[in-house]
Structure 1
Amino acid sequence: MTPNVENAPPERFDLRTGTLIIGAGACGLVAALSASESGQNLLVIEADPVPSGSTALSAGLIPAAGTKIQQAAGITDDAARFARDIQTKAYNENEQALVELLTNNAAEVIDWLCERHALPFSIVTDFDYPGHSRRRMHGLPSRSGGELIDALRSACEREDLDIICNRRAITLYLDQDQILGVAVAGPDANVETIACDRLILACNGFGGNRALVAEHMPQIERALWFGHSGNRGEAVLWGEALGAGLRNLSAYQGHGNVAHPHGILITWAVITEGGVQVNRNGHRFWNESQGYSEAARAVLAQPDGEAFAIFDGRIATIAGQFEDFRRAETSGAIKSSETIEELAKALSLPPAALEQTIREIPVNGTDQFGRFFNKTPLTPPYKGVRVTGALFHTQGGLRVDSSARVLKADGTAFTNLYAGGGAATGVSGRGDSGYLSGNGLLSAVVLGRIAGRNT
């Protein structure tokens, strides 16, 4: 069913609630927890049988500056530094007010989730993410988005919050600039109507809508879609119908290190700690230090749209803190050999070319692509995995104000419509190169917190 907007509401709604939240990913569940603190009546609807969304497919890492966890670890950081890092990565293409809104509120969200809802966050301290000038990536023990969404769902259950699954919103009912309610379709195609005083769109982006991807980001159209299939772009389509402000629809997070054909994310730590990517000819082809989002296009431009991440046992130990990496090892996606020649044969690469490539990696120096190496040279056992480029999620969407209310095209706000996460404009500039690690979950949890608190 195509999402639409109607100006003629039903004579009678089937249900009524105070705050209605569409989507039970990180944004929607954080919004629910936040809204519940004021004691207001709320309802979350989710299209899937159980809450998961793009959050469950991520590493579950949330960047924040100035948290109590950072302070306890002796890390000096602040929101202004974080904001500069975001704008530098995005070539200052973001609205400064939005960047400051997210960075100024991120620490409070992490501290609140830890103290009020007992989420056991800790900081990734054994490697650095490209573009972050401080170690500020907060994650749960398994470093997986699955654990994060499960923890948020459990927190909602402890608060006795209502989450109804297998319900996809298909229609918004509008009276001038106020949302009156929605129509939702269940698994049996029955349609129910829900009246609400406030509506929060937490239904993520449009990466699963191939027509919208082709329209707004054709350069990544043929990439593996690694996001959630439910990301069909309802927020963008409703926004267009409502006359809402939309921004940076060409922005997205790619990833050039997804095990192929296994479809398992390989953490970029295998590269930042001294690993490299080579093509099927055994040759390096770009400056991998630019970031994993840019890597998607770089990898897809290689023969057969694939590459091979080459690293070693030391790096694999660091990467092993991520559940996805351990799963890739178990599945046999990651090959291991005592010599480069043996590794090349295991990966069906030309041994002589790969050996020369590894020999040419500088020690405390800069290579021909402009990448500076200051890590320990690769040593046995050598590791490798075949990877491809993927589209993870879109970063453009509805413009929001400091209360997370959706703005019209003229800059004025809708009375009772809010948005966060992938439904809202992010802070990743206008393409793929502006994505700073964690931008997606940053927008999800901060705008979710603000929207819930202000509804």
Structure 2
Amino acid sequence: MVTLKTDGGHIGFDLSLPVVVIGAGACGLVAGLAAKARGLDVVVLERDAEPRGSTFMSSGFVPAADTRFQRQAGVEDSADIMAADIQGKNHGQADPDIVATLASRSGAVIEWLADQHGVPFELVQGFLYPGHSRLRMHCTPRRTGEELMACLLNAARAAELDVLTQARVTTLHVDDGNRVRGLTYLRPDGAEERLGCDTLVLACNGFGGNPDLIERYIPSMKDALYFGHESNQGEAVRWGEVLGASLKDMGAYQGHGSLAWPHQTLISWALMMQGGVQVNRLGERFSNEHGGYSEQAARVIAQPEGVAFNLYDGRIHEQALAFEDYRNARDTGAVRTFDSLEALSEGLGLPLAALCGTFAEMSARAGDGEPDRFGRRFEPVHRLTPPYYAIRVTGALFHTQGGLEIDTRGRVLDTGGRPFPNLLAAGGAARGVSGAGDDGYMSGNGLLSAVVMGALAGDTAAELAGASHG
């Protein structure tokens, strides 16, 4: 049960700290590190036994502009170019000031995490994700969110940032002026503890794991497979509603049209960007696979039996082996290999005539350079050749992108556009930069908001907490 109590601040707390962060995913850990760097006592509260969150389940890619990693690779990028890419993908529906701030601060945050906290970032090269006009995805060597979380937890330990697990926050305590005075959290043995704070950062992600909120705000995905963190129950949204906070873009979400089924392993969209295609059980393509993997989720779900097949070749297979998730999919039998279209047709139960027609059309478009009926262009160098590889996939909901409206410093705004005195939000708890639906999500938007806005919110929290003692 999530509650909020207006008690005028007349409540005793067992302990009080300058900055408290709720949620120990990438957003919460980065916010905590940023506040801790300002010399303040900080604690990050995590409801689970181990800090994982949505980051753990992601590919761990963080987009950033004008970094030294890009310059070392000869990539010319800028905050303005990155902001234009984000706004282009979301049809100009996101807050332009938030987008500009995230783009302009992204490079510095990535380099700060690398230089001050030892996160071994490197630039993902070889292909562009949908919507990006420059190579700007930064990841750790294994290219997994699990590894990124491990690096951030190592950084937290080295910085002596306190992370308290199995601490499920149930209640926020606010005074008559909407200032958060503290919170109550529940321990595994059922004991309640009260913690006071000067500033509070909500980094508890979105509401993808709450069926009632999904049905309320994103009814089109209420029956979709949820492949996100089960603890994303929407506490920030529910607290915000009671407080009178502004909620924005609540219908926005990140889906993914390439979840190996039934293995439930995320398959990188790099397969599509390097020349792969998706066909349904009729052996036919049904969309432009270069449009984006988020909006592809609903398209895949709409196909017969709610499944599709990723089809690609040995060239793409070799490149995909750089991704640990893909290697895991291969090792669990999700990846199948066929010497010919005839063998592929028989092995997958797809109509051979339709399959041959699909490949003939792709070959023709690669030859004449014209876009196909879905608007996709096929490059001759990406022409698929045997042996062919295939993975059966479905579409899934990964995480929500709407939430509490914030300003460029991470402060939560009320319905009148005024910031709350000491309440901040970032990552999935806050309104993202993906617009109002599913087609505005650009690869990395989730971790961009988590990592970069997390750092900004941590800075602001420390500043506000310091001012309250000044």
TM-score for both structures, normalised by structure 1: 0.98
1:54-96 CA-to-partner distances (Å, cap 9, x unmatched) read 0000000000110111111111100001000001101101111
Query: SS of the counterpart of 1:414?
Result: strand
Instruction: State the number of aligned residues.
Output: 454
**Cα distance, 1:192 vs. partner?**
1.3
User: Where does residue 150 of structure 1 map in the other structure?
Assistant: 150
2:428 maps to a residue whose letter is G
**Cα distance, 1:428 vs. partner?**
0.1
User: Where does residue 53 of structure 2 map in the other structure?
Assistant: 53
- Which of these residues, 365, 370, 384, is aligned with residue 370 of structure 2? 365
Query: SS of the counterpart of 2:382?
Result: coil
Contact kept, 8 Å, 1:335 with 1:347, in 2: the verdict is: no
Contact kept, 8 Å, 1:181 with 1:193, in 2: the verdict is: yes
Contact kept, 8 Å, 1:334 with 1:384, in 2: the verdict is: yes
| Counterparts of 1:365 and 1:297, CA distance in 2 | 27
Structure 2 stretches lacking a partner, 5+ long: 462-470
When structure 1 is superposed on structure 2, of 146-155 and 351-360 the one drifting more is: 351-360
**Cα distance, 1:10 vs. partner?**
6.5
**Cα distance, 1:101 vs. partner?**
1.2
Query: SS of the counterpart of 2:59?
Result: coil
Identity %: 49
When structure 1 is superposed on structure 2, of 339-348 and 323-332 the one drifting more is: 339-348
User: Where does residue 413 of structure 1 map in the other structure?
Assistant: 419
**Cα distance, 1:342 vs. partner?**
1.3
When structure 1 is superposed on structure 2, of 152-161 and 351-360 the one drifting more is: 351-360
User: Where does residue 5 of structure 1 map in the other structure?
Assistant: 4
**Cα distance, 1:189 vs. partner?**
2.5
**Cα distance, 1:293 vs. partner?**
0.4
Is 1:381 the equivalent of 2:387? yes
TM-score for both structures, normalised by structure 2: 0.95
| Counterparts of 1:11 and 1:450, CA distance in 2 | 30
1:419-439 CA-to-partner distances (Å, cap 9, x unmatched) read 000001000000000001000
1:313-349 CA-to-partner distances (Å, cap 9, x unmatched) read 1111111111111100000011111112212222222
1:370 maps to a residue whose letter is G
| Counterparts of 1:183 and 1:410, CA distance in 2 | 28
| Counterparts of 2:162 and 2:120, CA distance in 1 | 24
1:344 maps to a residue whose letter is S
User: Where does residue 249 of structure 1 map in the other structure?
Assistant: 250
Contact kept, 8 Å, 1:308 with 1:385, in 2: the verdict is: yes
Equivalent residues in 2 for 1:334-353, closer than 5 Å: 334-353=335-354
User: Where does residue 442 of structure 1 map in the other structure?
Assistant: 448
| Counterparts of 2:443 and 2:373, CA distance in 1 | 25
Query: SS of the counterpart of 1:92?
Result: coil
User: Where does residue 15 of structure 1 map in the other structure?
Assistant: 15
1:199-254 CA-to-partner distances (Å, cap 9, x unmatched) read 00000000001111111111122111011000000000001000011100000001
| Counterparts of 1:256 and 1:165, CA distance in 2 | 33
Is 1:390 the equivalent of 2:389? no
2:372 maps to a residue whose letter is D
1:11-41 CA-to-partner distances (Å, cap 9, x unmatched) read 3212221110000000000011111111101
Contact kept, 8 Å, 1:341 with 1:352, in 2: the verdict is: no
**Cα distance, 1:414 vs. partner?**
0.8
| Counterparts of 1:23 and 1:344, CA distance in 2 | 47
**Cα distance, 1:271 vs. partner?**
0.7
User: Where does residue 262 of structure 1 map in the other structure?
Assistant: 263
1:437 maps to a residue whose letter is S
Query: SS of the counterpart of 1:369?
Result: coil
Is 1:37 the equivalent of 2:28? no
Is 1:452 the equivalent of 2:458? yes
Query: SS of the counterpart of 2:395?
Result: strand
User: Where does residue 334 of structure 2 map in the other structure?
Assistant: 333
User: Where does residue 222 of structure 2 map in the other structure?
Assistant: 221
Query: SS of the counterpart of 2:331?
Result: helix
Q: 1:390 to 1:10 in 2, by over 3 A?
A: farther
User: Where does residue 84 of structure 2 map in the other structure?
Assistant: 84
1:398-434 CA-to-partner distances (Å, cap 9, x unmatched) read 1111221111111111111110000010000000000
Query: SS of the counterpart of 1:416?
Result: strand
Query: SS of the counterpart of 1:91?
Result: coil
| Counterparts of 2:447 and 2:182, CA distance in 1 | 27
Q: Quote the RMSD (CA, aligned, Å).
A: 1.1
Query: SS of the counterpart of 2:257?
Result: strand
| Counterparts of 1:201 and 1:83, CA distance in 2 | 25
Contact kept, 8 Å, 1:55 with 1:441, in 2: the verdict is: yes
**Cα distance, 1:380 vs. partner?**
1.7
1:89 maps to a residue whose letter is K
Query: SS of the counterpart of 1:332?
Result: coil
Equivalent residues in 2 for 1:42-191, closer than 5 Å: 42-175=42-175, 176-191=177-192
Contact kept, 8 Å, 1:295 with 1:389, in 2: the verdict is: yes
